């Protein structure tokens, strides 16, 4: 979530300690692209949130965004491949998902990393299910989206 100029991000977590966040991330043993909508991500939230039972999706998005920034800064170790096989869908369904993403994000897919735990992700998920007739859980849908952008 972006905050207006001059307004600091609210203190959502017990610690803003990047070292703690990295340690908790590494302990989960999942790659960052494989993390959203998993129990492993919820374990990270629980480890760093002041009150894990009250963490809203925008706060989850903030945690994920912080991890993405740490990865871009070279502060997250590589953890290897994701867990299990990536979900597969037919090319027609993949084209539909890409179209829905472009409609949500604009022309490019570059902003896809900001989708998890947002209303935009929920809109894409709902529209994809309705138009494709496929039932895909949030984690698998995220993995399909992450694959599209690469």
Q: Are 115 and 145 in contact (CB under 8 A)?
A: yes
pLDDT per position as a tens digit, 86-123: 788 999 999 999 999 999 998 788 888 989 999 999 99
CA dihedral 112, 12, 140, 108 (to 10 degrees): 0
pLDDT per position as a tens digit, 27-54: 999 999 899 999 999 999 998 887 767 8
Angle between helices 138-148 and 119-132 (to 10 degrees): 90
Domain regions of the chain by residue span: 18-72, 91-148
- Strands, DSSP E only, in the chain? none
Residue 77 has pLDDT above 60, yes or no: yes
CA-closest candidate to residue 125, choices 147, 96, 148: 96
Distance, CA of 75 to CA of 77 (rounded, Å): 7
Burial degree of 63 (CB within 10 A; 0-12, 13-18, 19+): buried
CA dihedral 130, 102, 136, 29 (to 10 degrees): -160
Distance, CA of 20 to CA of 117 (rounded, Å): 22
């Amino acid at each position: 979530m972006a905050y207006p100029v001059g307004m600091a991000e609210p203190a959502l977590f017990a610690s803003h300690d990047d070292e703690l966040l990295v340690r908790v991330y590494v302990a989960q043993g999942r790659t960052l692209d494989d993390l959203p909508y998993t129990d492993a991500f919820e374990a990270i939230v629980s480890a760093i949130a002041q009150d894990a039972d009250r963490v809203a999706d925008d706060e989850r998005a903030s945690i994920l965004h912080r991890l993405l920034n740490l990865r871009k800064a070279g502060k997250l170790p590589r953890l290897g491949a994701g867990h299990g096989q990536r979900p597969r869908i037919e090319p027609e369904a993949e084209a539909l998902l890409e179209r829905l993403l472009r409609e949500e994000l604009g022309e490019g897919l570059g902003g896809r990393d900001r989708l998890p735990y947002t209303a935009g992700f929920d809109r894409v998920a709902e529209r994809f299910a309705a138009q494709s007739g496929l039932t895909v859980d949030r984690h698998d849908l995220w993995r399909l989206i992450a694959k599209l952008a690469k």
